[in-house]
Amino acid sequence: MIEHRKGIIFTVGLMVAVPAITLVATVHQMMGAGGDEAIRASAVPQPPPPAASPTPQTAAPAGQAAAPAAPGAAPGPAAGSGVTAPAAVSGAAAPAAPSGAQPPAPLKPVPGRSATDFTASRPDWEKWLREADPEAGKQLAANGKPGAGVQACVACHGPAGITPTGGIFPNLAGLRSEYLAKQLADFRSGTRVQPLMNTIARALTEEEIGQVAAYYGTLAGPPLHVGEFGGEAARKLDVEGDGARALPACANCHGLRGMGEGPLLPRLAGQSREYFTDQMNAFRNGSRQNDDVGVMRAFSQRLTDAEIQALAQYYAGPAPAPR
């Protein structure tokens, strides 16, 4: 029984003594071995810096303060520190490399980003246009390629790119060369379907497509009478659209009064009523599908027949006089 009590007392004593000893040791260590120093950053004693023997050039008499630095001068080593001030150099001094170390290799410049990093691949017809001769395109438009079964462009599109009697043939004058080159390329590839134009475009070389497009891109469009016909419904669709039907304003893409906006957004002003109506119906029924991301197909399907007719009159102006 006595031995049992002794074991209990010994165990309790250890439980009290060990934390107490740990606490005392910690306080002793934090106070710098019992001195009056502040708490050290590390419990491992740091060796004192080596004392430099004073020299006549660097040592100052005991009790004499170091002379203040001149205004604007860079701070130097304290007097009595045993450190010689470095010689003055122009610009910032680079740190000395360790003895025997190899100099760092020169950094290679990293090329910066450019807009072309995020640009889709360019269409082939851009090159055809850059190398095109508009004068050669003029000759091709006037004469065609009889040996290849290509009739002259002027036969359907008029001598100056303006269809004289309206009809389903578009005016080419006033359209951008980029738009014309894209349409010919689409006819050639079959992306846009129209049997006569598919045959003609496939008989033309890439160089000839660029030449014809470049030529017609230099011609001024027909006289304008936009807005004289079509009524308020057409004007509102042109300027405002109809948000309730998710119809953007026509002017958002084709410019106010259908004057064209950018190289691939064609001018509507001056196109015949027949051609405008024919193309809107082609988008509507899906027989024309070379619009970007289906924009015109979606737009035309939300229009009524009456609205398509009103827009055709609005952009075309008065009907041509019979001949």
Which CATH code fits 223-323?
1.10.760.10
Joined tokens for residue 40: 């050290």
- What are the pLDDT digits (tens) for 254-282? 999 999 988 999 999 999 999 999 999 99
Q: Domain limits of the chain?
A: 123-222, 223-323
Same fold, 123-222 and 223-323: yes
Compute φ and ψ for 148, nearest 5 degrees: -105, 5
- Domain 123-222 matching CATH 3.20.170.30: the answer reads no
pLDDT per position as a tens digit, 195-251? 999 999 999 999 999 999 999 999 999 888 888 888 999 999 999 999 999 999 999
Q: Which tokens hold the place of 180?
A: 């014309």
Amino acid type, 293:
V
- The model's pTM is 0.63
